[in-house]
Amino acid sequence: MTGSHKLLAVDDVSVFYEKFRAINHVDIAVEAGDVVSIIGANGAGKSTLLKAIIGQADHVEGRISFAGETIIGRTTEAIVASGIMLVPEGRRLFPSLTVEENLRLGWDVGRKGEIGFADVWRLFPVLEDRRRQKAGSLSGGQQQMVALGRALLANPRLLLCDEISLGLAPLVINELYTLIPQIKARGIGILIVEQDIERSLAVADHFYCLLEGRVSLSGRPGEVNRDLVMKHYFGL
């Protein structure tokens, strides 16, 4: 499979936890500058897939290539430095570090590039006021902003977003999702993993529906019937 023009190519990938097959022969592709949504119920394997891509899954079979180069077996450190960055489920900031220190870590681990602190403050003005505040004392929405800002400061070519709407109020989620097109406009590919079907399909160019570790449905959001999506989401 020639994937040299694909930003990310996940070919026939299976991920195991001991003997349990959490991801089952999955094929996913992300083109440069595309937004791809992966939807699925809890336990469908969405987070596992992202962990496999970022290099944090122990037992992975198949092929994963990023900009034509294979990344299975490389360290997360190397993968991040080459241009993939994860916004982890549950934010996973470092609570005793300040906002600024959390953001700077993103810069330190990433590919140095155009996006800098000025961009992050512009995107999230509320964070600039709180730059010296400990990240653990922020609200959920603000923490999600820091997590996103941290990922952007790594200047990724591909951004992996794991359930960024989890635990946040609807207004806050709306605000966050307005950022997706802005990030896409900078040429960054985005792979969004979500339980919230509506919002993620609204911003996506392509989507995949995961059910019990398999891709049960895929396509362009506009071309697929909503009811069909629901059926595959719930496995009916």
Contact positions vs another protein (CB under 8 A): 16-20, 22, 43, 47-48, 51, 54, 56, 75-77, 79-81, 85-86, 88-90, 92-97, 101-102, 104-106, 108-110, 150-151, 154
Q: Which residue, 58 or 181, has its beta carbon nearer to another protein? A: 58
Give me the least distance between CB of 149 and another protein, in Å please: 12
Q: Which residue, 1 or 108, has its beta carbon nearer to another protein? A: 108
Q: Which residue, 1 or 78, has its beta carbon nearer to another protein? A: 78
67/158 Cα distance (integer angstroms): 10
- Cβ pair 48, 22 in contact under 8 A: yes
- Cβ pair 45, 14 in contact under 8 A: no
Q: Which residue, 68 or 95, has its beta carbon nearer to another protein? A: 95
- Cβ pair 45, 23 in contact under 8 A: yes
Give me the least distance between CB of 55 and another protein, in Å please: 8
Using a 10 angstrom Cβ sphere, with 0-12 exposed, 13-18 middle and 19 or more buried, the burial of residue 164 is buried
Give me the least distance between CB of 208 and another protein, in Å please: 19
**58-80: buried (b, 16+ CB within 10 Å) or exposed (e) per residue?**
eebebbbbbbeeebbebeeeebb
Q: Which residue, 3 or 110, has its beta carbon nearer to another protein? A: 110
Give me the least distance between CB of 180 and another protein, in Å please: 20
Give me the least distance between CB of 139 and another protein, in Å please: 19
- Find the Cα–Cα–Cα–Cα dihedral 166, 169, 175, 181, rounded to 10°: 30
Two structure tokens written together for 226: 């909503």
Q: Which residue, 85 or 209, has its beta carbon nearer to another protein? A: 85
Residue with tokens 């944090």: 56
